[in-house]
């Protein structure tokens, strides 16, 4: 029963999702319109990483992009971050074209990109000290903000350690704290949990939702675009899952995840969760198989 | 660091470390003993103290020179010259390398000159430098600066180019301005390679010291070697040569220490 229900929703979302989302349209935080990205390499044919990619992300939405490796997920995220420019189409934040990186869009990188010469505290406060996020704050207020971020991710006792002294899970927490310390409007996360073991990963999924504010009303949440290749992770976290397909990278399906919030272990055990996971897997399976053969 | 201090309280760990230290000293002494025995044997067979004095004679000469403080005076002069040379070389090479590493255009303008000069060894400039500077402190400092300059420059350029792109991107996405990224991200990220470069600079400039002082200086280890050679006092010559080796080793250790102090995150 559930299976078919999910299917219908998913299929309905594919062809005219733009029209179906007309209201969300106006309060879209991020918009990708017919976005394409080609990489020109001298002496070789240009490779198309992303093509005809159209997607709106609503204010306060948790959007997860899944897809097989090499489908251009990271390229999409980098374009949202402003680290790469699209070669076609438009990428906008609140209707303003994104021309470069900016403090309104915080990025968490796959390998965390923590500064190895800074302690946890130094890393978390880096943007406040050297960027615009903390320019209005006094040194005392900055320190207080850093401390509250340390408390938020539970890194108390490790504030003065260097990244190389931390475990993978703690590094991830430090990177998350650094991200939220700058209070960006949009959080862009590129497979932030990929390098962790399975248990740490589950714990940090819960933590991530807590920090995002799943207990709070939707209006006070921040917008998140999250990339992963783990389908269960996508279903657990997301309001909507964008499924990408490879060669070239396109949007294959946009799937609503109507699971109630706050989500917890019971959510993972529910049949709806299983059905959604199965459905998304069925969309990716063929390509994933092909990718392992070649 | 804190962990190491905590371990030091455990006697078993400490004694084990001491035992390991004692063993490495023993291995070292054993190797040296073989070397000295072979040397003594050859010296005995040759029995020409001017060509090859015995280890005992060299030891005696070293002790006498040390007692007069002559050994230390020349060592200090050479060491001080190297410090001045490295300071000058770093002051030019590090900013230049930073600019070359950051800007391809600047690199393309400067690099041909650098590549043309680099294969010319410092020694090749001695005759010309003798005309310009005469005998004194300036000549050896110039030659040692020249010798130390290239490894420091090239190491800095490579270090800046190898900075993890992600770290720069991370700072950019926080809205950190370009200039601050250079001083607060690129420089510290390149610091470990810069420290390696400095160590190489120490090594090359120290090897140039003897040649430069041999001809163009009124003091220093190279001068002393040449002075005692003219007097045919080979044990003294060899004592000074040994001092060059020992001090070179100490300089390398100091450079490593510097790296541990300034870039502790990279030394593991």
- Would you call B171 an interface residue with chain A, using a CB distance cutoff of 8 Å? yes
Question: Based on the domain organization, do B160 and B28 belong to the same domain?
Answer: no
Rounded-to-integer distance, Cα B111 and Cα B99, Å: 11
Question: Based on the domain organization, do A149 and A219 belong to the same domain?
Answer: no
Flag if B170 and A109 touch (Cβ within 8 Å): yes
Rounded-to-integer distance, Cα B207 and Cα B147, Å: 9
Question: Based on the domain organization, do A179 and A198 belong to the same domain?
Answer: no
Neighbours of A201 (CB within 10 A): 18
Q: Which residue of A has its CA nearest to B168?
A: A113
Task: Quote the number of domains for chain A.
Answer: 2
Structure ipTM: 0.82
Look at residue B111 in the predicted model and tell me its pLDDT. Answer: 92
Average pLDDT, chain B: 88
Is the residue at A162 inside a domain? Answer: yes
How far A131 CA lies from chain B's nearest CA (Å)? 4
Question: Based on the domain organization, do B42 and B66 belong to the same domain?
Answer: no
Flag if B175 and A83 touch (Cβ within 8 Å): no
Q: Residue A241 pairs with which residues in a beta bridge?
A: A64, A255
Look at residue A37 in the predicted model and tell me its pLDDT. Answer: 85
Q: What mean pLDDT do residues A154-160 have? A: 88
Question: Based on the domain organization, do A229 and A257 belong to the same domain?
Answer: yes
Question: Based on the domain organization, do B198 and B231 belong to the same domain?
Answer: yes
Q: Residue A249 pairs with which residues in a beta bridge?
A: A50
Question: Based on the domain organization, do B115 and B189 belong to the same domain?
Answer: yes
Q: Which of B173, B184, B191 sits opposite A130 (nearest CB)?
A: B184
Flag if A113 and B170 touch (Cβ within 8 Å): yes
Cβ-Cβ pairs closer than 8 A, A with B, add up to 70
The whole domain housing A179 covers 118-184
Q: Which residue of A has its CA nearest to B166?
A: A113
Q: Which residue of B has its CA nearest to A82?
A: B173
Question: Based on the domain organization, do A220 and A278 belong to the same domain?
Answer: yes
Question: Based on the domain organization, do B19 and B124 belong to the same domain?
Answer: no
Question: Based on the domain organization, do B109 and B6 belong to the same domain?
Answer: no
Question: Based on the domain organization, do B19 and B62 belong to the same domain?
Answer: no
Average pLDDT, chain A: 83
Q: What mean pLDDT do residues A259-281 have? A: 90
Q: Percent of chain B scored above 90 by pLDDT?
A: 60
Strand, helix or coil for residue A239: coil
Flag if B173 and A164 touch (Cβ within 8 Å): no
Assess whether pLDDT exceeds 60 at residue B122. yes
State which of A184, A199, A230 marks the end of a domain. A184
Question: Which residues of B fall within a CB distance of 8 Å from A132?
Answer: 175
- Tens of pLDDT, residue by residue over A38-80, are 888 777 777 888 888 889 998 889 999 998 777 788 888 999 9
Q: Residue A65 pairs with which residues in a beta bridge?
A: A227, A242
Flag if A131 and B176 touch (Cβ within 8 Å): yes
Is the residue at A110 inside a domain? Answer: no
Is the residue at A112 inside a domain? Answer: no
Rounded-to-integer distance, Cα B196 and Cα B207, Å: 17
DSSP B195-210: HHHHHHHHHHHHHHHH
Q: Which residue of A has its CA nearest to B174?
A: A103
Flag if B170 and A101 touch (Cβ within 8 Å): no
Cα distances (angstroms) measured from residue A226 to each of A64, A229, B131, B244: 5, 10, 69, 60
Question: Based on the domain organization, do A85 and A171 belong to the same domain?
Answer: no
Is the residue at A113 inside a domain? Answer: no
Look at residue B93 in the predicted model and tell me its pLDDT. Answer: 96
- Tens of pLDDT, residue by residue over A163-173, are 999 988 899 89
Tokens coding A55: 């997607």
- Tens of pLDDT, residue by residue over B38-62, are 988 998 888 787 888 888 899 999 9
Question: Based on the domain organization, do B73 and B140 belong to the same domain?
Answer: yes
Question: Based on the domain organization, do A273 and A215 belong to the same domain?
Answer: yes
Assess whether pLDDT exceeds 90 at residue B267. no
Element spanning A34, H or E: strand A28-39
Tokens coding A115: 């500064």
State which of A162, A184, A206 marks the end of a domain. A184
Question: Based on the domain organization, do B24 and B134 belong to the same domain?
Answer: no
Flag if A132 and B175 touch (Cβ within 8 Å): yes
Question: Residue B154: is the preceding peptide bond cis (ω within 30°)?
Answer: no
Question: Based on the domain organization, do B150 and B257 belong to the same domain?
Answer: yes
According to DSSP, residue A222 is labeled P
Q: First-to-last CA distance in chain A?
A: 36
Q: What mean pLDDT do residues B204-214 have? A: 88
State which of A166, A184, A202 marks the end of a domain. A184
* Cβ pair A193, A226 in contact under 8 A: no
Look at residue A221 in the predicted model and tell me its pLDDT. Answer: 87
Question: Based on the domain organization, do A278 and A232 belong to the same domain?
Answer: yes
Question: Which residues of A fall within a CB distance of 8 Å from B174?
Answer: 103, 106, 126-127, 130-131, 133, 182
Dihedral of the alpha carbons of A265, A270, A272, A273, in degrees to the nearest 10: 40
Look at residue B4 in the predicted model and tell me its pLDDT. Answer: 47
Q: Which residue of A has its CA nearest to B191?
A: A117
- Tens of pLDDT, residue by residue over B61-105, are 999 999 999 999 999 999 999 999 999 999 999 999 999 999 999
Question: Based on the domain organization, do A86 and A140 belong to the same domain?
Answer: no
Q: What are phi and psi of A277, to 5 degrees?
A: -60, -45
Is the residue at A111 inside a domain? Answer: no
Task: Quote the number of domains for chain B.
Answer: 2
Question: Based on the domain organization, do B145 and B241 belong to the same domain?
Answer: yes
Min mean pLDDT across B20-29, B58-67, B127-136 is at: B20-29
Strand, helix or coil for residue A1: coil
Min mean pLDDT across A24-33, A219-228, B137-146, B213-222 is at: A24-33
- Substitution target in A116, A160, A165 with the highest count of B β-carbons within 10 Å is A116
- Tens of pLDDT, residue by residue over A200-242, are 888 889 988 988 887 777 778 889 999 998 999 999 999 999 9
pLDDT-derived band at B10, boundaries 50, 70, 90:
low
The whole domain housing B232 covers 54-266
Flag if A107 and B173 touch (Cβ within 8 Å): yes
């Amino acid at each position: 029963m559930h299976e078919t229900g999910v299917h219908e929703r998913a299929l309905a979302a594919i062809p005219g999702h733009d029209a179906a989302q007309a209201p969300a349209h106006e309060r879209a935080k991020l918009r990708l319109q017919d976005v394409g990205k080609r990489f020109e390499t001298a002496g070789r044919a240009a490779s198309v990483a992303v093509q005809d990619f159209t997607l709106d992300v609503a204010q306060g939405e948790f959007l997860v992009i899944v897809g097989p490796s090499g489908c251009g997920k990271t390229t999409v995220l980098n374009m949202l971050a402003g680290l790469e420019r699209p070669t076609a189409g438009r990428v906008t934040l609140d209707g303003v074209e994104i021309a470069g990186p900016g403090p309104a869009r915080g990025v968490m990188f796959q390998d965390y990109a923590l500064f190895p010469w800074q302690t946890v505290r130094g890393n978390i406060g880096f943007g406040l000290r050297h960027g615009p996020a903390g320019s209005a704050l006094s040194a005392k207020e900055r320190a207080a903000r850093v401390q509250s971020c340390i408390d938020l991710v539970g890194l108390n006792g490790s504030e003065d350690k260097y990244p190389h002294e931390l475990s993978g899970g703690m590094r991830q927490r430090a990177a998350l704290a650094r991200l939220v310390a700058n209070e960006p409007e949009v959080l862009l996360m590129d497979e932030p949990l990929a390098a962790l073991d399975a248990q740490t990963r589950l714990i940090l999924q819960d933590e991530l939702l807590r920090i995002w504010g799943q207990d709070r009303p939707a209006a006070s949440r921040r917008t998140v675009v999250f990339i992963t290749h783990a389908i269960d992770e996508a279903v657990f976290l997301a309001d909507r899952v964008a499924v990408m397909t490879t060669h070239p990278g396109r949007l294959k399906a946009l799937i609503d995840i109507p699971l109630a919030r706050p989500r917890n272990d019971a959510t993972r055990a529910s049949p709806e969760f299983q059905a959604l996971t199965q459905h998304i897997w069925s969309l990716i399976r063929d390509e994933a198989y092909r990718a392992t053969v070649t | 660091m804190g962990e190491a201090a905590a371990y030091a309280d455990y006697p078993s760990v400490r004694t084990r470390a001491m035992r390991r230290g004692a063993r490495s000293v023993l291995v070292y002494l054993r190797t040296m003993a073989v070397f000295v025995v072979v040397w003594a044997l050859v010296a005995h067979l040759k029995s020409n103290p001017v060509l090859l004095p015995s280890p005992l004679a060299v030891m005696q000469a070293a002790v006498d020179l040390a007692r007069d403080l002559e050994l230390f005076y020349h060592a200090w002069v050479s060491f001080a010259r190297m410090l001045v040379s490295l300071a000058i070389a770093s002051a030019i090479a590090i900013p230049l390398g930073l600019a070359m590493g950051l800007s391809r255009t600047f690199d393309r303008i400067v690099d041909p000159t650098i590549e043309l000069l680099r294969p010319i060894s410092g020694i090749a400039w001695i005759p010309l430098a003798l005309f310009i500077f005469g005998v004194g402190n300036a000549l050896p400092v110039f030659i040692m600066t020249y010798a130390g300059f290239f490894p420091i420059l090239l190491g800095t350029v490579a270090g800046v180019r190898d900075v993890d792109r992600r770290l720069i991107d991370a700072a950019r996405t926080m809205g950190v301005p370009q200039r601050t990224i250079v001083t607060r991200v690129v420089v510290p990220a390149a610091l470990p390679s810069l420290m390696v470069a400095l160590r190489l600079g120490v090594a090359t400039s120290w090897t140039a010291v003897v040649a430069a002082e041999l001809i163009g200086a009124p003091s220093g280890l190279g001068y002393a070697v040449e002075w005692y050679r003219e007097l045919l006092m080979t044990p003294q010559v060899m004592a000074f040569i040994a001092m060059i080796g020992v001090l070179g080793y100490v300089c390398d250790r100091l450079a490593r220490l510097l790296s541990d102090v300034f870039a502790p995150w990279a030394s593991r």
